[in-house]
Amino acid sequence: MLHTLRKVFGFHEFRPNQESVVRSLLQQRDVLAIMPTGGGKSLCYQLPAVLLPGTCMVISPLIALMKDQVDGARSNGIRAAFLNSSQSPEERDEVMSDLLSGKLDLLYVAPERFILSHFREMLNRVQLSMAVIDEAHCISEWGHDFRPDYLSLSDLVSLFPGIPVAAFTATATHRVQQDILDKLALRNPLIVRASFDRPNLSYHIRFKESVEPQLISLLNSNPGKAGIIYRTSRKSVNDTAAMLQAKGFRALPYHAGLSDTERKKNQEAFIRDEVEVIVATIAFGMGIDKSNIRFVIHADLPKSIENYYQETGRAGRDGEPARCTLLFSQGDIPKMRFFIDAMPDEAERQRALAALSKVTAFASTSVCRRRTLLDYFGERYPHDNCNSCDICLGTREVVDVTLESQMVLSAIVRTEERFGATHIVDILTGSQNKKILDFGHDRLKTYGVGKGHDKKYWRRLIDELLAQQVIQKSEGLYPTLFLLSKASRVLRREERIDIVRMLEKKTEQLLTKAAEAPHTTELFELLRTLRKHIADEQQIPPYVVFSDRTLHDMAATLPRTAEAMLTVSGVGEVKLQRYGQQFLRLIGRFISD
């Protein structure tokens, strides 16, 4: 096992749970493994597929992904192929004939093929080593991604009683887990439920003030790195992508309103490292295997914690550090409420509301982000401090704004709760505009008391008071602000108002501290260019050639010989033979320069 791990995959140790799954399959025992994205599920079946005689059949719902998976396996010298509707009859015939003559370690097929009786008959003439079901939660109606085609997999065990069946998924509640076991009729399976924690992801929530400059500053702190920016609407996706392009970033949009061709083209450009940034609605991500996504930014509030976990989960599959930033403003909540209120189905509306209140709580509280995420999945985080979220890094501070809040409340009271936020801010900051003068509001006691802060500050405070349910906004075209019962307690100083503020400086310090030595970064960039060059020549995604982790490892350890190259994580014998010389030459030149 360890020998193959090293020789074929170039890895020196198993990730958590991989070993027990591999061992179980080698002993012909069924498996259900629930492991997070990036947990290394493919290796769990690819390794036994190499060791066991016969072909391992992998049923996978994502046709778009099959080619990448096959390319990935082949890049390690594994004999892999796929069968699906995207191929010509000739291509399919060739795969069939390889399959029948025992020339394949791995065969990927879509579930709809497994239903076909002639395909099943053909499988009877093939020596199968095991059957793997990827995205196994698709078999459950309780899951979020039910696919009726998957129900046909219930026949698997009875059709092929002599081989082990392994089911993999990244998301399964306990209910879905039981459903998978029942539907597939797994026989005394090994059940692995890995932790949902993604230790290489760091989570940061920032106050959303002005999206454009904030995005630009975030991109500038990740120069040249691949990342996804999620936005809610197609329009904001287009606008943000155009804005970034205008500022010189290589960014492309992705949403369901684009033509198939354009979506595909943009996705491909991102996967192949031709553009760094994809600005997308949540339509983007399913079936993206790209392992070197270094950041995910949510420029708008995600729909639910589950969405947030999945969307951020696309970062850092290779195990290298990746950053997840959510720009949060209380002001986003009414927009989401608007869509939810328009939902025709009452039950669906209630679910959406509950989900919204959970994400809002997640973003507003000062509890470790990681702990909150894991809590959501019913898992207890065993440490006090995760050291990689904005809360644990202490990049926020709590500020008492009771006095300022009283000024706002008093301005609202003195104008008899008849005005909106803009006017209240104008009063506080002592504006001389016509409306103020017409109403004689420049004679109010609160007029100009808030001059010490700018308008943005007061806007934000009003948002905060709305969020903390001290005040409320009326319905209608010209919403006015009015006080809730909590307000009188604040005015009497019986209750205090705190806001949480980001300490930008400290964040930046922490970021720079984590940065690498300059020469390593320089070499890493050169290695990356070479990787891109090779990938283009072979028409495969760059991360299939080598992962970011492998390149970092090379840049840090500077291998000079083939032997030393083999000790780099992710360099197996086939990759050494294919790419070793080119990378060794580049490193040699870099050192002697």
| 457, 444 Cβ separation under 8 angstroms | no
Q: Which of 198, 317, 423, 552 binds ligand ADP (CB under 6 A)?
A: 317
DSSP class per residue in 542-570 = HHHH--HHHHHHHHHH---SHHHHHTSTT
> How many Cα neighbours within 13 Å face the side chain of 143?
20
CA 160 – CA 114 distance, rounded (Å):
13
| Nearest residue (CB) to Zn ion, 384 versus 438 | 384
State the burial class of residue 176 (Cβ atoms within 10 Å of its Cβ: 0-12, 13-18, 19+).
buried
Instruction: Based on the shown chain and the rule CB under 6 A, indicate whether residue 193 belongs to the binding site for ligand ADP.
Output: no
386 binds, among Zn ion, ligand ADP, none (CB under 5 to 8 A by kind): Zn ion
Pairing of strands 498-502, 396-400: antiparallel
- Report, in Å, the least distance between residue 170 CB and ligand ADP: 6
Q: Which stretch binds ligand ADP (CB under 6 A): 32-40, 54-62, 135-143, 529-537?
A: 32-40
230 binds, among ligand ADP, Zn ion, none (CB under 5 to 8 A by kind): none
Q: Which stretch binds Zn ion (CB under 5 A): 180-188, 306-314, 385-393, 568-576?
A: 385-393
Instruction: Based on the shown chain and the rule CB under 6 A, indicate whether residue 569 belongs to the binding site for ligand ADP.
Output: yes
Q: Is 69 helix (H, G, I), strand (E, B) or coil?
A: helix
DSSP class per residue in 314-352 = TS-TTSS-EEEEEEE-TTHHHHHHHHHHT-S-HHHHHHH
Instruction: Based on the shown chain and the rule CB under 6 A, indicate whether residue 460 belongs to the binding site for ligand ADP.
Output: no
CA 260 – CA 256 distance, rounded (Å):
8
37 binds, among Zn ion, ligand ADP, none (CB under 5 to 8 A by kind): ligand ADP
H or E stretch including 279?
A: strand 277-280
Q: Which of 237, 293, 327, 389 binds Zn ion (CB under 5 A)?
A: 389
| DSSP single-letter state for residue 105 | S
**Between helices 18-26 and 41-51, what is the axis angle to 10°?**
30
Report which residue's Cβ sits closest to ligand ADP: 40
Long-range contacts of 550-557 (CB under 8 A, 24+ apart): 550/10, 551/524, 551/527, 552/320, 552/520, 552/524, 554/523, 554/527, 554/583, 554/587, 555/520, 555/521, 555/523, 555/524, 555/527, 556/520
CA 219 – CA 214 distance, rounded (Å):
9
Instruction: Based on the shown chain and the rule CB under 6 A, indicate whether residue 37 belongs to the binding site for ligand ADP.
Output: yes
42 binds, among Zn ion, ligand ADP, none (CB under 5 to 8 A by kind): ligand ADP
Instruction: Based on the shown chain and the rule CB under 5 A, indicate whether residue 386 belongs to the binding site for Zn ion.
Output: yes
Instruction: Based on the shown chain and the rule CB under 6 A, indicate whether residue 579 belongs to the binding site for ligand ADP.
Output: no
389 binds, among ligand ADP, Zn ion, none (CB under 5 to 8 A by kind): Zn ion
Residues touching Zn ion, count (CB under 5 A): 5
Instruction: Based on the shown chain and the rule CB under 6 A, indicate whether residue 290 belongs to the binding site for ligand ADP.
Output: no
Instruction: Based on the shown chain and the rule CB under 5 A, indicate whether residue 374 belongs to the binding site for Zn ion.
Output: no
| Nearest residue (CB) to ligand ADP, 47 versus 462 | 47
Q: Which stretch binds ligand ADP (CB under 6 A): 30-38, 263-271, 338-346, 452-460?
A: 30-38
Instruction: Based on the shown chain and the rule CB under 6 A, indicate whether residue 309 belongs to the binding site for ligand ADP.
Output: no
Instruction: Based on the shown chain and the rule CB under 5 A, indicate whether residue 324 belongs to the binding site for Zn ion.
Output: no
CA 46 – CA 18 distance, rounded (Å):
11
| Nearest residue (CB) to ligand ADP, 12 versus 418 | 12
Contact set with ligand ADP (CB under 6 A): 11, 14-15, 18, 35, 37-43, 291, 317-319, 547, 569
Contact set with Zn ion (CB under 5 A): 368, 370, 386, 389, 392
